[in-house]
Amino acid sequence: MSIVNYKIKKILVSTLRKKIPSYRLSQNAGASPGTLIYTGKVKDEEAEVTLLQYNENAINKTERKDLPEILSKISPSQANWINVSAIHHTEVIQKIGDHFNLHPLVLEDIPNTLLSPQYEDFDDYLFITLKMLSVNAESHLVEQEHVSFILGKNYLLSFQERKKDVFDPVRQRLEKARGKIRKRGVDYLLYALIDVIVDNYYAITEEVSEKMNQLESELIRRPTPRAVEKIANYKKQLIELRKTVYPLRDALGKLDNEEELIEQGTMRFFKDVYSHVEHVINTMETQRDILTGFMDLYMSTLSHKMNEVMKTLTIIATIFIPLTFVAGVYGMNFQYMPELQWKWGYFASLGLMFLVGIIMYIYMKSRRWF
């Protein structure tokens, strides 16, 4: 392995080790099934439970810290959306699970942020978990938020790690009196929430594409080890996207068999989301190929610049070879060298070396060697 390849490999390995978080799953080993253990990092926010009840004619919002009060307001005659943030408060999840008679294994998966997106069909509700992605403004790395949905007959439960989310456009659509969401059930609300999460995937891939375009210009102008580190960072982001998008596609594909809780008209919208996920996957595959090409471009540009330097040094050395020969001949200390006693010998030798150098330069230039 060459020194250049070794240094590039060392940069890639050190960058990926530095950026990929390390989780210790063994710390939860031995826990009984159904034990609620939060495996994320966000633990400094208070739990917040919001209830949105709506129909075609009205909408009502209840935001309380008193969970029993919110649960008592759930009405079978309306669509009920209960959103829970800060899932590290597992006691809130347990109380909601007891109220809706949710399976203990479902409750266990809600605070488990290490799970990949998945879908499970129970008798009277559906369970879907996926990842909400965003780009950190400072580090420009992809950040994940674990989100879970439970769809019942007239209710939708959503669980988030943080209070900040991408659901505001859906909330604004709910406030419109003639909005499409208000005319449909909670199954359409589930579609709208998943759709806005998937749309945010587009924003992630577009930002990555924009950064990759800048990186391409940088690789062409001046390839540096910093560029290799950027390539490793973008590969890390694509790995995070792949771990999120591929399982989500499989989960959405299983919704085709659901007929009780999702209406046939709403199923068409879920198929549209499925096609969006397929498009994101195709974009990711293209970006992965481009990143591989970037590494080849980096190596080619680096090799080209090295060849240019070596060619320049070779030309200089070649020109100085005959000059060194002339200087070596007249640097010998033999007693009988006719030119040593010549008055103009020094200037003649300098002129000869200068003339030879000019002739060789013109010859190489005419052959387009540089």
- Claim to verify: residue 236 and residue 290 sit in the same structural domain: yes
- Claim to verify: residue 319 and residue 232 sit in the same structural domain: no
Strand 59-64 relative to strand 79-85, pairing: unpaired
- Claim to verify: residue 192 and residue 326 sit in the same structural domain: no
- Claim to verify: residue 257 and residue 352 sit in the same structural domain: no
- Claim to verify: residue 285 and residue 340 sit in the same structural domain: no
- Claim to verify: residue 48 and residue 107 sit in the same structural domain: yes
The string of pLDDT tens digits covering residues 176-185 is 767 778 888 8
Q: What is the CATH number of the domain that holds 211?
A: 3.30.460.20
pLDDT for the residue 26: 46
- Claim to verify: residue 269 and residue 345 sit in the same structural domain: no
Tokens 């060789």: give the residue.
Answer: 360
pLDDT for the residue 181: 86
For residue 82, list its beta bridge partners: 51, 157
Residue 27 belongs to a domain: no
- Claim to verify: residue 289 and residue 344 sit in the same structural domain: no
pLDDT for the residue 174: 86
Number of domains present in the structure of the chain: 2
pTM of the model: 0.75
pLDDT for the residue 24: 45
The secondary structure element, H or E, covering residue 347 is helix 345-366
Residue 26 belongs to a domain: no
Q: How far apart are CA 161 and CA 110, in angstroms?
A: 10
Contact predicate 273/195, CB 8 Å: yes
Q: How far apart are CA 207 and CA 210, in angstroms?
A: 5
Per-residue confidence in pLDDT tens, the chain, 370 aa? 444 444 444 444 444 444 444 444 445 555 667 688 888 877 777 888 899 998 888 888 888 667 888 888 888 888 999 999 888 888 989 999 999 999 999 999 999 988 889 999 888 899 999 998 877 777 667 788 899 999 998 999 999 988 877 888 888 888 876 777 888 889 999 999 999 999 988 888 888 888 888 888 887 777 777 888 888 888 887 887 888 889 999 888 888 777 788 888 889 999 999 999 999 999 888 888 888 888 888 777 778 788 888 888 888 888 888 888 888 888 887 777 887 778 888 888 888 889 988 988 888 888 887 7
Q: How far apart are CA 325 and CA 20, in angstroms?
A: 60
Quick one: tokens of 330?
Answer: 């007249």
Q: How far apart are CA 44 and CA 60, in angstroms?
A: 29
pLDDT for the residue 31: 62
Residue 168 belongs to a domain: yes
Q: How far apart are CA 266 and CA 45, in angstroms?
A: 35
Contact predicate 144/132, CB 8 Å: yes
pLDDT for the residue 65: 65
Residue 139 belongs to a domain: yes
Q: What is the CATH number of the domain that holds 329?
A: 1.20.58.340
- The angle that helices 225-253 and 3-19 make with each other, rounded to 10 degrees, is 50
Among candidate residues 48, 51, 72, 69, the one with its CA nearest the CA of residue 60: 51
Residue 236 belongs to a domain: yes
- Claim to verify: residue 237 and residue 336 sit in the same structural domain: no
pLDDT for the residue 125: 92
- Claim to verify: residue 12 and residue 87 sit in the same structural domain: yes
Strand 126-135 relative to strand 79-85, pairing: unpaired
Domain containing residue 329:
307-366
pLDDT for the residue 234: 83
- Claim to verify: residue 345 and residue 216 sit in the same structural domain: no
From 269, 300, 331, the end of a domain falls on: 300
pLDDT for the residue 72: 86
Q: How far apart are CA 83 and CA 86, in angstroms?
A: 10
